[in-house]
Chain A
Amino acid sequence: MQAREVLVTGYGLVAPTALDAASLFTTISKKRSCIRQHPAFVELGFANPAAGFVDEQQWQVIAAAFPGDLQTTSRQEWLAHYVACQALAHAGLADGAFARIASGIFVGANKHCVSGDLRDASRYMDDQGRVDLDQYLDNHTLSGGAFARRVDQQTRHLAEWLGVRDHISTHSDACAAGTMAIGSAYRAIARGEIDLALCGAVELMAHELSYYSFDGLGALCQRVDFSPQEQSRPFMPDRCGFVLSEGAALLVLESREHAERRQARPLGRVLGYANLCEAEKITSSSRDGSKYAACMAAALTDAGLASAAVDHVNVHGTSTQANDRCEALGLAQVFGETIEQMTFTANKSAVGHSLAGSGAIEAVLSLMSIQLGVALPTLNFQPEKSQFPELKFLCEPLQQPINVVLSNSFGFGGVNSSLVLGRA
């Protein structure tokens, strides 16, 4: 039985320095970076305070648009709401649309917790390690409580607000969670479980605890001789780790039947998806790129496409030595000689690595590339010095017809996922 076609009819996005998708696309097209010195990291005295972060000016706009009580809700919920409003408006959907038909919410996220939470909780712990929960709870507003935030709070907020009654999922697959949320929504629509989905990721991890954790793994760039804007340099020989970032993107997916019934304007299609478990090693991939290749090939098989059909690849491209090398090897295995006819982009060069958020943000940018016929440049990329010259990353935006994009997300722990996007 042939599965149903899945269309993209809307999207919304917030990234560091950008309050919508068009702004981010323009920023990258103009070769401007979203990465800056994080004031909190400067204040804490971190040796390298570079990060992508949603700043206070952006938060003022996001908070002002939130219809609920800011005292009793979290920033994740405000951000999810803001981005969802954009996506629904873009798709021409009213809030009530999700309550009227079989629908779902699929959100990728990781846990947010900052050091202030720990200090707050410590005030209610005695010298035996017991926490006076009742006293603690008596003294805190709902939003201010330590550990008050849950990984699924934004999913829950969206589900309640939109009246979704069928499928509510929170994906927590590290850096692949956003792509996996989109992939799960695609499959649920394709197999006929639901007709309409809001999917993507909401990630706020550009804080000191994440920084400490990832730095402890040696995963963050610590080259302070590079400016913040120069630190994320995927596929360059002198790449030395990723730059922590954050952001959110949500897409509206619909069955073609549903979209046509309401005369929605399709922006693109999800053609295929695969998620495979690598199980090689926690923080590094199969050294020969074969597992990444298997994931990309499986996504193309799911889409029913030969590798030659792909015009453009939005790579995972974290700017770590191991990931980029494995991805380059994997790409070579999948695309062979056709690789020279393709273009590539690494959005993390401009945005940083927003973990769960990255796959969703990159899916939106990929769809825009298809719509606008523009391949985005990769910042800090110098072709003459490239370690992988067969991969045609661009230094300038390039106007070209783009029919099919492959977008990769590879997470810690061997969580590999690839999404195939195309014209509607």
Chain B
Amino acid sequence: MTRSNSTAVYITAASVLNAAGTECVSRDSQPQTALPLDFDTARLAHCVTAPALPAGVYDRKLSRSLEPQGARLLYCAGRLAETLRRLELPDERIALTAAIPEVDGPSSCWDAVQAIGEQPADLLAQFFAHTPPLHALMMLNSSVMAHAAEALHCKGPMGGFCSQGNAGLDALMEAAAHLSEGRADAAVVVSSSPNITPALYLRDVTHPPVNPGPWIFGEGAAALLLSTGPAKGAQSALRIAGFARGYSAQPERGVAVGRDVIERALSNEKLCLSDVGQVVADGQDPQIAALFTSAGHALEHSKALVGDLGTSALLTEIAATWALDSSPYTLLLEHSRGGHWGAVLLARALLDRETMESYP
């Protein structure tokens, strides 16, 4: 494997879907009210209705066979189709990476669960009767990726990541590596939150999170389009200037890992934390708060607006940074419920006419 000179990677389009809507909203907007869940009214969450897929992008019949997680993801991916098409790239030069939590999870099995409860002696018959024949395909993340790839003509490198916390960062870093190492010229990066079902809460108890927090779950998805040049006609360019990931299952090591991740994310640009104008991180997380006690940054985050989106949280914040005004340098820091740490440094530069015209 040869490594190319580090080609710059830009975010040239983004789309989101969450409780705050389908457009990126300012992080200081009025928080949405979390609502009681259908299956447990004592619990609150920011749920969203699975959207209709963008017209003209996917096969019309596809909506019938999608579970909500896949529908959210494909909705966001589909909204990038036109921008991607305008890049006029060969299909083989377009990468696709995805962060999809619990893709093979039983989230669409709840009808079967209910039927089994009514006739427990007839377990398999009830399961089979209430589970679509193509259940396996519906639930495989590779199926969702295949739908996105087919519709957006992504036939380059790909990769699917599946864990609750850091999969969004894994997908972003994988896509950026494909571009910077010359395997692709553009990449679609997609992520979805977990479906909010009883299973989500059950798993939390069986595998207690390293970083439990008092967070309220949300549903949502996000998609980014990465390319090796700024968007045509854009007034400014948002470049991925650095990233790093780390992990600690031991809370007492968490702050040290978080600090290391920040330093590594800043190191490419030879920055220190005080050089960063904007920090997107959840100040309610005590370990994150501890990292910024002396830096004087006002931390901002979308969690109050949309809930904890898990795997989709990072891409949602990157999308917001792309869509809204941001500082020359924005640092996004994540600390997952599972103990993963991730940092992404984004650099925004204004483009003059000459620069803009130099890109095709």
Contacts and interface: CB of A to CB of B under 8 A. Distances in A.
A262 interface: no
Given A165-B248, A173-B142, A117 B163 contact: no
Contacts of A273: 1
A16 interface: no
B2 A2 contact: yes
B66 to A, nearest CB: 12
Given A1-B2, A133-B198, A115 B124 contact: yes
A136 interface: yes
Contacts of A142: 205-206
B202 A147 contact: yes
Interface string B118-161: 10100110011001011111011111111101100111111111
Given A118-B123, A137-B205, A277-B149, A151 B159 contact: no
Contacts of B146: 277-279, 281-282, 412-415
B3 A2 contact: yes
Given A1-B3, A123-B117, A150-B102, A414 B124 contact: no
Contact of A171 (B1, B135, B161, B177): B161
Q: Give the bracket for the number of chain A residues in contact with chain B.
A: 35 or more
Contacts of B181: 191
Given A3-B1, A111-B103, A129-B38, A171 B159 contact: yes
Contact of A110 (B104, B202, B248): B104
B155 A277 contact: yes
Contacts of B113: 118, 121-122, 125
B155 A278 contact: yes
A254 to B, nearest CB: 16
Interface in A136-180: 136-137, 142-143, 145-153, 155-156, 159-160, 164-174, 176-177, 180
A222 B356 CA distance: 60
A173 B159 contact: yes
A145 B102 contact: no
A217 interface: yes
B110 interface: yes
Interface string B158-185: 1111111011001000100100010000
Contact of B163 (A169, A180, A210, A214): A169
B223 to A, nearest CB: 15
A282 B105 contact: no
A151 B162 CA distance: 7
Interface in A210-229: 210, 212-214, 216-217
Contacts of A411: 142
A224 to B, nearest CB: 19
B160 A172 contact: yes
Contacts of B127: 115, 118, 209, 212
Contacts of B106: 111, 113, 117-118, 147
A413 B140 contact: yes
23 contacts: A113-B109, A121-B113, A121-B198, A121-B202, A122-B118, A133-B198, A143-B206, A145-B206, A147-B199, A168-B163, A168-B166, A169-B166, A174-B142, A177-B160, A180-B159, A190-B1, A191-B177, A208-B124, A209-B127, A212-B128, A217-B134, A282-B147, A415-B142
Interface of B: 1-5, 38-43, 91-92, 95-96, 100, 102-106, 109-110, 112-118, 120, 123-124, 127-128, 131, 133-137, 139-147, 149-150, 153-164, 166-167, 170, 174, 177, 181, 198-199, 201-203, 205-207, 245-249, 253, 257, 338, 340
Given A172-B100, A279-B91, 15 more contacts: A111-B106, A122-B117, A146-B199, A147-B203, A151-B104, A165-B247, A169-B163, A170-B162, A216-B135, A217-B137, A273-B1, A277-B157, A304-B2, A412-B143, A414-B149
Interface of A: 1-3, 44, 109-111, 113, 115, 117-119, 121-123, 125, 129-134, 136-137, 142-143, 145-153, 155-156, 159-160, 164-174, 176-177, 180, 184, 186-187, 190-191, 208-210, 212-214, 216-217, 272-283, 291, 294, 302-304, 411-415
